Amino acid sequence: MAADPAQTNDIKTTPLNAAHRALGAKMVPFAGYDMPVQYPLGVLGEHKWTRDSAGLFDVSHMGQAFITSTDGRHETVARALEALIPADIVGLKLGQQRYSQLLADDGGVLDDLMVTRSQASADDGSLMLVVNAGCKDADYAHLRARLPAGIALSVREDRALIALQGPLASAVIAGHVAGAERMAFMTAASDRFDGIDIHISRSGYTGEDGYEISMAADKAEAIWTALLADTRVKPIGLGARDSLRLEGGLCLYGHELDPTTSPIEAGLAWSIQKRRREEGGFPGAARIQRELRDGPSRRRVGILPEGRAPAREHTEIRARDGRVIGEVTSGGFGPTLNGPLAMGYVEAAFAAVGTELDLMVRGKALPAKVVALPFVPNRFFRAAKA
Amino acid sequence: MLRFSKDHEWIRVDGSIGTVGISHHAQAALGDVVFVELPEVGKSVEQGGEAAVVESVKAASEVYCPVAGTVTEVNEALPDNPALVNEDPEAGAWFFKLEIADKAQLDGLMDEAAYKAYLETIA
C-alpha cells in the first residue's frame, strides 16, 4: 500500500469548508482547493444516493464571472464572446444557458464552460460564465487579453456555487424556490431561496436532473444546511462526482479535454450550433470545420472492459493486432453500471461501436470493446411544451 | 498476532506459513474496494515486492509483500466480493498465504502497538 500523498501548502478553501469538516468529510487538495472527496457514506453509497434520490455538491471552487458590455446590448457582448468560443451566443434566449469551450488559436480546448444569459432583459449586455477551478486564472487572463474594448470581465470570487442533483432534486428545490420544478433543462433565473437572493439554473454534471445555485459566499452555509435538513438529500464528494460524470459520458477538463484535443475529436460537435459551423469566426475554425467535414483523426469513445479489472487514466489502448491506437483518459468503476468503464481517444478507424480492443493493464492485454456513450442514460429534465 | 509493514500490510505467522492482508487503516484510506487481483499460487515474491492489487472506485494500489516467500494459497472469496476488504480487513479478507523464505525478515515489522504509534506519526 502506498501512503497518501502529502498535503500541499497555500491551499484555498470554499465558504463551506467548515461544513464539510463538521460532516466528517475526507478532505483532499483539488485544483488548489481543500475539497471533500467523500463523506462517511463513501463513494459507492454517495454515487447511488445521487442516482436514486438527491445529492448535494459544493462546487464553489469553480470560477464564476460576468462579462459585460458598456452599451448594455446582448448582441455586443455575445459577439465578443463568440470570437473566443464556437457556440451560438448571439442566439441565446433570455434565461438560456449553453455549454461551450474556450478555444486556442489552433482549435485546442483551453477550458470548457457554461454561458448564461440572464432571464431579465434589464440585465442585457451581460453574460454569466462558469469555468473550471483548475483553469480559471488562465481563463481570466485569456479573456482580459482577448476581449475587445468596451467589454469588462468581473470575477466573482465573492460567490459560492452548490449543485443539487438526482431524480428527487426538483421536488426538494420546489420547497425553497417557488416554481423551480417547472424550469426547463439549461435555463436559468435570478430568484430567492427561502428569501435569499440566488441565481439558479437547471443543469449539472452528473447525467441526472438537477440544479446549480449561485449565492453570496456568506449565504452558502444557510442554503447548504437547509437542503441537508431534507432527508432526501445527502452531501456528495468529488469521488462520486467523478464516477457519476464518467457514467454519464461527460468530459472532464484535463482528462478528455486539453489544449491538444479539439471539440470535434471530443465528440462535442453538438455544442457548435449550425450558424457557427457555417460562419466560423472562432479560434481554430479552419481545423474544426475541416474535422466536421472530413472527420477527425481520432475520436473520444466509451470503452467497456470485459471482466472486473478497471483500466485507469493513461492505460494504453491497442488494436487486436497489438498496434497502439490510443489511450484511456478516464477509467474506473461505475457503481450504477456495477463494473469497470473507461473513456479514451482512439484512431478514428477504431471508434465504431462494437470495435474490439485491448487495454494494457499491468502488462496484460485485457479485452474490451467500444460502446455508445453515455454508459448510464442521462435523465435531464425537458419541460413539456405548453 | 499480526505484524505490520510501513506500507500497511499485515502478516500472521503460523509455523513457516504467513497469511497476508491490508490493515484497517489501509482499507479506510482506500474507500470502497471494487476489485482485487491476487497472485498465482507458486509465485515467488521478494520482500517489498508487488504481490496483489486492490482498487477502489477512484484508484488502484499495489499490495506489497511484507516478507519474501512463495505463494501457497489465495483467498478465492475476494475477487467475487471485494467489499470484504472494507468489512473485515484484518481477518476474513486475507489476500494470500506464503511459505516464508527467511523468518528473520519478520523482525523488521511492527507489532500492533508499534503500528498504532506509526500511524500517529503519519496522521
Cα–Cα–Cα angle for B34, A231, A46, rounded to 5 degrees? 15
Same domain, A227 and A334: no
* Confidence at residue A381, expressed as pLDDT on a 0 to 100 scale: 86
Judging contacts by C-beta atoms under 8 Å, the chain B residues touching residue A364 are none
Provide the CA A144 distance to its chain's centre, in angstroms: 23
What is the DSSP-derived secondary structure letter of residue A180?
G
Candidates B34, B50, B61: best to mutate against A (most CBs of A within 10 A) is B34
Residue of B9, B13, B8, B4 lying closest to B98 (CA atoms): B13
- B22 and A1 in contact (C-beta within 8 Å)? yes
B97 close to A (CB below 8 A): no
Number of domains in chain B: 1
**Does some domain include residue A327?**
yes
Same domain, A223 and A304: no
B94: domain CATH number?
Answer: 2.40.50.100
**Does some domain include residue A275?**
no
Number of domains in chain A: 2
Instruction: Say if residue A3's pLDDT is above 80.
Output: no
CA distance A52 to B36: 27
For residue A321, the enclosing domain spans 297-371
Q: Among A2, A4, A335, select the one facing B57 at the smallest CB separation.
A: A335
A348: domain CATH number?
Answer: 2.40.30.110
The nearest alpha carbon in chain B to A28 belongs to B29
Q: Inspect the interface and report whether the beta carbons of B57 and A312 lie closer than 8 Å.
A: no
A22 close to B (CB below 8 A): no
* Confidence at residue A4, expressed as pLDDT on a 0 to 100 scale: 47
- A285 and A263 in contact (C-beta within 8 Å)? no
B99 close to A (CB below 8 A): no
A175: domain CATH number?
Answer: 3.30.1360.120
Q: Inspect the interface and report whether the beta carbons of B122 and A3 lie closer than 8 Å.
A: yes
**Does some domain include residue A228?**
yes
**Does some domain include residue A151?**
yes
User: A308: distance to nearest CA of chain B, Å?
Assistant: 7
A308 close to B (CB below 8 A): yes
B9 close to A (CB below 8 A): yes
Residue of A265, A75, A51 lying closest to A166 (CA atoms): A51
pLDDT in tens, B72-120: 999 999 999 999 999 999 999 999 999 999 999 999 999 999 999 999 9
Q: How many CB atoms lie under 10 A from the CB of residue B30?
A: 23
Which residues of chain B form beta strands (DSSP E)?
Answer: 2-4, 9-14, 17-22, 33-37, 44-45, 50-56, 60-64, 69-74, 96-100
Range of weakest confidence among A10-14, A131-135, A274-278, A379-383: A379-383
Mean pLDDT score of chain B, rounded to an integer?
Answer: 96
* Confidence at residue A382, expressed as pLDDT on a 0 to 100 scale: 76
CA distance A11 to A32: 6
Instruction: Say if residue A385's pLDDT is above 60.
Output: no
pLDDT band at A384 (very low <50, low <70, confident <90, very high): low
- Average pLDDT on A268-281 reads 98
The nearest alpha carbon in chain B to A331 belongs to B58
Q: Inspect the interface and report whether the beta carbons of B29 and A308 lie closer than 8 Å.
A: no
- Average pLDDT on A124-147 reads 97
Instruction: Say if residue A371's pLDDT is above 90.
Output: yes
Instruction: Say if residue A336's pLDDT is above 80.
Output: yes
Same domain, A6 and A98: yes
Instruction: Say if residue A6's pLDDT is above 70.
Output: no
User: A309: distance to nearest CA of chain B, Å?
Assistant: 6
For residue B51, the enclosing domain spans 2-122
Q: Inspect the interface and report whether the beta carbons of A362 and B53 lie closer than 8 Å.
A: yes
**Does some domain include residue A384?**
no
**Does some domain include residue A281?**
no
Same domain, A20 and A150: yes
Judging contacts by C-beta atoms under 8 Å, the chain A residues touching residue B32 are 42-45
